[in-house]
Each structure stands twice: as C-alpha cells, then as structure tokens.
Structure 1
Amino acid sequence: MIRSTQRSTIRLLLQRWLPAVLALALLLTACSSGDGNRESGGEPVTLKVMHWNEQSFNSEYGMLYYALNPNVEFEVVSTNKIQVSEIESSEEYEKKFEQFIQDEKPDILMLNQEQYEKFAADGRLVSLESYLTRDKLDLEGFIPGLIDLMREKGGGELYGLTPNFYSQAIYYNKDLFDRYNIEYPTDKMSWEEVLNLAGRFPTDGSDEDRIYGLRVGYSTDLFQLGLAIGSTSGLRMVNPADKRVSIDSESWVNAYETALRAIRSGTLYNNENMSFSGSYEEYLLQNPFVSGKVAMAIDGTYLMQQIREAAEVIPDKAVKNWDLVTIPVDPANPDYTNNVSFYNIFAIHAESPNRDAAWDFIRYIHSDEYARVTSKAFNGQFPVRTKYIRDDEGRNLAAFYLLEPSGTELYPGFEDLPSNFFNEFYTIGSEEMKAVTSDQKTVAEALASMQTRLQAALDEAIANQEANGAAGRNEAGVSVESGMVVMPAESGEAEAGAAGEGSAD
C-alpha cells in the first residue's frame, strides 16, 4: 500500500507540473529557433491583472508571455482578497467586488459572464473592435458561437475574450455497443433518444458483472435526472424575478415521467457511495466507464484524463475503444446548449492608462501561437481555438464544442435567491421524488406538493433575509453539471475541474 501511495503521489505531481514544464520547453525551443518571436521593444510597462492568485496566473499565462516580452511586468491583484466566506449577501459581494476594482485599479479585468455584461453596459470596458480590425486577429478559429455570445452580452460590441472553456459530452464504449449489436449514439440526440438507446442494453446479472446503459452524474436519483431533462428543454423551477416557483406543469410532469421510466428500466448506473480507499489503479477502475461496466457516460474532460491515465497504468483492464458525441439537446433547439462554461473573461478597464499593452496581452493569450503551445499541456480545459482540440486516434472531440453556447444559464439569477433556499430546494425535491419511486405518489402529485412546499420555503427565506437586511447569496458550494445538482459532498469532479482555474465561478 505504501508503494502504491507513493506511485500515486508521484503521478499526481507529474500531472500537475510536467505539462507546464513541457509547455515552457516548447516555447523556449520556438523562441530559440525564431518561431513565434515577436517585437518586444518599447518602454517598460507594468500591467495590473486580476486573477485568482499570482501563482496560477504565472502558471497559465505569465511565464509564456514573459519569455516573449521582456519589457512587460505583471502585478497580479488577487481576487482572493475578497473573502467570500465573510460575505452574507449578493449585494455585499458586488459592493466588495466594485470596491476591489476601485482600490486596485487593474488594467486587465477578469470577469464572469454576468459581470462582463454589466461592466460593458456601464461603459467601464474598452471596446476591442478597433484592435481586432487593426491587428486582424483571426476570430474564425474560435469555438462556434463564442464571439457572437460575447458581442451579444456586450450590447453589440466585443469587450472581452476568454481563452478556455469547459463543457461535457457523451462518452460511449464501442466494444459494448458492438457486443450487443446496438447502433452507436449520434450527435444532437434528445434525452429520450439517449435513454431509449441505453435501455437496449441487458439489465440482468449481478451488480459486479452486469453492464449498464448510461451513467449520468454521480448520483442518479429521480429528482436530479428529471431536473436535467427539464432544464435541457429550457424549463425553470423558479423565476428569480418574481420569486415564484413554477414546477407544477405538464411540461415538468413529462420530464419527470421520462426520468422515472429510465430509472425503473434498471439501465442507469447509480452508485451513491463516493468514498474510496485503495491503490491508484483501483481508484481509476472505480469509474464504471473506465472499467467497461457502462456503455455511455455523460461527463466532462476530467473523465478523458482518467481514461488516458488508466490506459498507461492498467492497459489490460481499461476501456480502449471509445468515442464521443454531444450531450442531449432540446429537439426544438438542437444546435445550442447551456452546458458550456467560461470561467474567466479578460477585458480592459476603461480607466487603464496602458490600453495598448493590455490589448497585446489579451491578443496573445487568444492567438493561434498561444493555443498551439498550451495545447501540449492539457489541464482539463480546452482552448477556444478548435484547431488544437484534437485526438491522435481520431475521436470526435468536436462533441465538446459542436453545440453553440445559448447564452442562458441553467439557473439564471439563482444566486440572488436566499442562500439557505438551495438546500431546501434539494431536500424537498429529493423527498418528493423518493415518494414517487416508492409508489407513494404519482409524478403529478409529487410536483404539486413540491410546488407548495418550495414556495412556502422560498417565501419564508425571503422574509427572514429581509428581516435581517440581507439578500442572501448562494454560497452553499453547490454546482450544476449537465443539469445535475451536485451537492458539496458529491462535487469531486467539479473540484478537479476548478483546480485549473484556481476557483469556481
């Protein structure tokens, strides 16, 4: 066990540091050979940049840019100075964020989508349109819909860019599909089509030996699966604008009845025990897709890293013949998804005295050159330049970016609801749907009861927050992956995915 733990530690260290070393070596090689070398003359300048912290900024961007621009220095103003744990309301957070920018006066801002839209509307960002025209930055190579979304959020102009994105896809095991003579999944399938395909796999055999058709998230209960299906179709459980719950509807009934049929079919993999102790090899095989127990899995890029690691460590036991298609879509809107995430949008502060230098940095980290170098060190996120999203064995990595970002969130405005409501939302929803799976209620009865209970819980939470003078912010540590509610105890992958960013949005 000691030897296995040591090996695991060494592997994890190599995974973390080796890619950065390799990327730097590639860059220095390019510089020494003259490839990618650029003009670095002019007066020395110090750029103040917002980021999670100095170490993460230099690891992702600074080292590469320094090598090509010796006259530029960075002063990283860390957003960690905003102590989220001490903030009790969304209004308080926004005030602290505004004060942070006012005090630090960064040249380059790092924003989420909501902040980007607000700052652009308030005239606090520099339009990038003239720079794009002057420097002829290639926008055609970006993932579909990104530039359109950024311009839409900017009121018709482009005020910021993001170098990376995160999304999910459906992984599928070709060998299992071939064994049972089932046709492969395809891009842009609906939830019903995916679940029907999963249902064609046999459901007999013991838990240790049998094959499952599909794994969705970490704990596939009825509440979460129905939520995922409804959210993909644009349904909303709560309207944050008027604080009204709206789940007692025919559309939600249909979504949950679809989920109920899938769960009762026995084709969905569900393992609620996420604890683990053992060797690293056993840890890798704990994932049912890696070990060949699941025909399809909806997951992010973290699973791809696990598969590749398993292929090196335990090649005789890990899945070999696999590919990807897009996550389920709304049949009425099949080209779009609300599953694409952007963790950091870089923009130039309107008060910056170093606009040209700030643009040069933003231009570089969105250039073909930067994407080429950093693509050698995959860290769980893809570059927005699709040219460098590729697989040596020809797998369909386009599944991660084929669908255009819809520009709407799974739960728009949810962060403005009282902070304790989300836990009530999860608890009440789970209780009501457990009553359905145990045949105590129909789906319609459970949704009607959920409507009443959730509205009462929301009304009470709003009354309490108003009495306390705070509009509670959702800081419960909850994330949403492909429509699945991921509570803190279950959010292993969310943490792994956020490790590359230094924080989650």
Structure 2
Amino acid sequence: MDGGRRENMELKSIPRGRLAGAALTAALALPVALSACSKQADKPEQEVLRIPFGSEQTFQYSYGNYFAVKFPDVRVEIIPTEGLYGPGKNYYEEFEKLIREQKPDLLITYTSDYKRWASKGLLLDLEPFVRKSKFDLDSFTPAAIEQLKANDEGKLFGLAPQLTSSALYYNKDLFDKYGVPYPTNQMSWDDTMRLARRFPVDPDPGKRIYGIHEKYSTPFDFVSDIAGTVGASHISPDAKWITLESDVWKKAFDQVVSGFKSGNLYYYYKDGKRVNYGPEETKQMDLFSSGKAAMMISSTEQMFRMKQWGETKLNWDIVTVPVDPANPEYTRYFNVSPIYAIAANAEHPQTAWKVVQYFNSEEAAKVSQKTEDVLSTRTAFAKTKDGLSLMPFYMLKVKPLDISPVAFPPSAFFQQFETIVIREIDEAVKGRKSVEETIRAIQTDAQVVLDRAWLEQDAQKK
C-alpha cells in the first residue's frame, strides 16, 4: 500500500522539494522583510549547526530555502551520510559511530532511527528546552506525543511536525446503488471483507465493481495488512526466521486468495509477473478513483490523486482503517515523521533547538498546509480538508509494540522473497495449490533465501 511499508533506513532527502519554489519563499519572506532594516546595522556572528544528511545537494533541495529565509545567521555544515550503507555495512552501526565521533547537532530522522538513538542515550531530552521556551505541547495531537515518548525513559527526545496515517475510503454512490450499508469507524477486517463480498461480481471484468482494492501493492501486501492488524509478522523480531505457519496467516491468505478467485478482489499479477508502474499504469490501477472499487485504504495521497486526475464528482467519504477487535484504538498505519532531535553530544544545542522549534511551530505548519498534501501533528489543522472531516486519520494511535526496535533482514532477501510470494499466490489463485500448500511453500523457500542472505552478509564482513 502507499504510505510506506518499511521506513527508509537511509536519510537522503525528506520530500520538501516542492517547497523550494515561489510559494515557500513568499510565505516565509514577509515577516523577515518587515524586520530586516533593524538588523542590518549590527549583523551578528554566524552560528554553526552540524547536520547529518545524504549530501549537501539533497539538503539544499529539501531545506535550502527554509534556512536561507528563517536562519540566515546559521552556517550549516552537512555531514554526508551517503556512504553509510552498502554491501558489508551495517547502517545503524555506521550512523551510531558518526554521532559519537563527529558530534552532530541536529538530527532529522525517522522512527526506527529515533527509537534506537534514544535507547542508546544518544539524544537530548527536549522537555527542558520546551519548558524554558514555553513551547506548547498541548497543541499537538496526543497520539503523536505519545509515540515520541514511547521509549524506556518515557522522555521527549524529538518533535515531529507531520504524521502519516491511512483511512478506509468508500464510494457512497456504489454502496447506495447495491444496498450495502456504509462502513463505520473501527471495523474489523472480517467486517470489512464481509461488506466487500456484498458487491456482485459482474461476468464482464470491464463492468465489474470490486469490493475493496489495494493499489500499487503485491497480493502478499494485502495478506500482510490483514494479518498485521492483529499483530502477526511474517518474520521474527531478530529477522532470522519466517513465521507464516499460523492460523492468523492462514485466515488472511484464505480471505485474499478466495477474493481473487471469485473476482470480488482485483487480481493484477498475471502469471506471477511483477507489474511495473508507469504513469498510465498508475492511473489504471487506481480503481477507486475511476469508480470501479467500492473501498480502498490509502493516506491523504488518494485525495491528491483524485484532484490530479479530475475525479471531483466522486461521492466518497472516509472512516478509520480496519482494526484488531481486541485493541480497537490502535493501528499500524499511524506514524510521525520527520523527527527533529538534538544529539546528546551536540556542541550547539541551543541553535539546534531554535531549528527544532521552528519546524514544529504553528507558522511552519501553516506553510506546509498551503504547499504540501500532509497531515499536521498540530490539532488546529486536524479538522477538515476541502470540506471533508480528517478525524479518521487521527482517531487511532500506533501500538507501543509496533515502535519497539526490530532487526531488518539483509537487503538481498527482499526481492527474492517478493518473487516467491508472487509465484506461490499465483499458484493458489489458479487452483494449482491449496492455501495450506501455498503457505508451506513460501515458508520453506523463503527460509532458504533468508538463511542464504544472512550467510552472504556475514561473509562480506570478514
């Protein structure tokens, strides 16, 4: 699904490139221009701020205009991180070494890195800065602050201005036409799939309405979304074992494969071959926007796509994503990013705090709301967009278990694993294998691939 399934372990560039244009400059420059005359006579000495980032070029693309306008007296020194990943390298170990040895000030990171650095004592507690600056944490959505404090010490080691979250989109006209009751907040996947099955399967695929569709994803992604909602993972926490042989996974495979076989779910992996998405394929696979799917799960990206493609007449609404009935207040689809933190050994912590404070300010939130399709962590912006309530994106919070440190398999594993699951699910959809046989084949073949990937990675370190 969109929204990201695995966080990017390499911090190359946060997608703020669109902010480099005239809209950003105009939005930021006015308050600075009004006070410029009083500051020109006695220009202060430049402050230094050291920031680990992919490269100088990617930093300028993502943040150059911000710093030029808001922090003209700060001299940014980029510590390149492009060389921290690659064959035989452990990204986390390399980044930790960078922090300890090169003493950066500001860290712009994501959840997986943030929780690791916090657990290792590499980040400063921001609450003393918050109190001294009288920075209002109550203006942030509680779920965001809760996630940022989900560490062994329960401290606030970072702040995040934006969040990613998904919702269940549904086409009201299709539900009305076929007499199907609308989805509701905090439904289970069983309830959701039951609604999906109530849409009749037209013999003509060109006229067919699909009950629920996941665009830009593999069939296994769909299975994983269902199983993952109740806490199942296809790989162990130490990333050494495949863990598909359970009742939870069997039920999830059954629901998806039976939907593909009946035609109630759209199956687009023909003969086990991967689909490569160009501009035309991307639009074709958005069955919800074209009125061919009754439901779909997506982030605010779907709102942007419907505008982009001129689908303004679609009568749609949103509710929360499906949840685990045993934990209905939690979701896997909520995450804050980017996270701005200060290194514990920073030589310029006050300068770093000024930057952290600005990027998490109401002023910066107003700019991003005008120039980006993002969700703000500030409650003042968590109300409506284009007349539609955004509350389903904010109603749930991430499970504490979902933000605890986990290991990642070697990179060589992922593509081979995807090939295996696409091939085996295709066998099940075509009736050549039962669901049980499919799961067993994936379990066996994927374990072989995982073992080999670890052996190869260990050999490269020697």
> The TM-score by the shorter chain falls in which range?
0.7 to 0.9
Name the CA distance, whole Å, in 2 between partners of 1:406 and 1:140: 21
Matched, 1:147 2:145: yes
CA contact under 8 A between 2:112 and 2:405: conserved in structure 1? no
Structure-1 residue corresponding to 2:323: 329
May I ask how many residue pairs the two structures share in their alignment?
Answer: 438
| 2:304 partner amino acid | Q
Q: CA deviation at 1:235?
A: 0.8
Structure-2 residue corresponding to 1:218: 216
Matched, 1:430 2:422: yes
CA contact under 8 A between 1:290 and 1:318: conserved in structure 2? no
Name the CA distance, whole Å, in 2 between partners of 1:438 and 1:62: 53
- Provide the identity percentage: 33
| SS in structure 2 at match of 1:208 | helix
CA contact under 8 A between 1:170 and 1:296: conserved in structure 2? yes
Change (3 A) 1:458 1:392: closer
Structure-1 residue corresponding to 2:376: 383
Matched, 1:399 2:395: no
Name the CA distance, whole Å, in 2 between partners of 1:462 and 1:64: 42
Structure-2 residue corresponding to 1:126: 124
| SS in structure 2 at match of 1:376 | helix
Change (3 A) 1:95 1:252: closer
Q: CA deviation at 1:199?
A: 1.7
List gaps (5 residues or longer) in structure 2: 1-15, 270-274
| 1:133 partner amino acid | R
Structure-1 residue corresponding to 2:342: 348
CA contact under 8 A between 2:261 and 2:430: conserved in structure 1? no
Structure-1 residue corresponding to 2:235: 238
TM (norm. structure 2) is 0.83
| 2:257 partner amino acid | L
| SS in structure 1 at match of 2:257 | helix
Structure-1 residue corresponding to 2:109: 111
| SS in structure 1 at match of 2:443 | helix
| SS in structure 1 at match of 2:186 | coil
Q: Deviations over 1:127-176 (max 9, x none)?
A: 11111122222222323422122222262211112222223222222222
Structure-1 residue corresponding to 2:357: 363
Matched, 1:444 2:436: yes
How do 1:39-438 residues align onto structure 2 when only pairs under 5 Å count? 44-54=46-56, 57-58=59-60, 61-64=63-66, 66-80=68-82, 82=83, 84=85, 87-89=86-88, 91=90, 93-102=91-100, 104-153=102-151, 155-204=153-202, 206-219=204-217, 221=219, 223-241=220-238, 243-272=240-269, 273-276=275-278, 284=283, 287-311=286-310, 318-378=312-372, 380-409=373-402, 413=406, 415=408, 417-438=409-430
Name the CA distance, whole Å, in 2 between partners of 1:70 and 1:410: 36
Q: Deviations over 1:10-61 (max 9, x none)?
A: xxxxx96588422332333455678xx99x9975312122334445545655
TM (norm. structure 1) is 0.76
Name the CA distance, whole Å, in 1 between partners of 2:173 and 2:212: 15
CA contact under 8 A between 1:170 and 1:297: conserved in structure 2? yes
Change (3 A) 1:120 1:418: closer
Change (3 A) 1:202 1:141: farther
Q: CA deviation at 1:204?
A: 1.0
Name the CA distance, whole Å, in 2 between partners of 1:58 and 1:75: 11
| SS in structure 2 at match of 1:137 | coil
Name the CA distance, whole Å, in 2 between partners of 1:105 and 1:396: 44
Name the CA distance, whole Å, in 2 between partners of 1:198 and 1:186: 13
Change (3 A) 1:191 1:211: same
Q: CA deviation at 1:99?
A: 4.3
Name the CA distance, whole Å, in 2 between partners of 1:334 and 1:168: 15
| SS in structure 2 at match of 1:352 | coil
List gaps (5 residues or longer) in structure 1: 1-14, 312-316, 471-505
Structure-2 residue corresponding to 1:28: 29
CA contact under 8 A between 1:285 and 1:318: conserved in structure 2? no
Structure-2 residue corresponding to 1:4: none
CA contact under 8 A between 1:307 and 1:319: conserved in structure 2? no
Q: CA deviation at 1:382?
A: 2.3
| SS in structure 2 at match of 1:172 | strand
Q: Deviations over 1:44-84 (max 9, x none)?
A: 3121223344455456555345434443333333433x263
| 1:27 partner amino acid | L
Change (3 A) 1:276 1:400: same
| SS in structure 2 at match of 1:358 | helix
| SS in structure 1 at match of 2:206 | coil
CA contact under 8 A between 2:167 and 2:298: conserved in structure 1? yes
| SS in structure 2 at match of 1:431 | helix
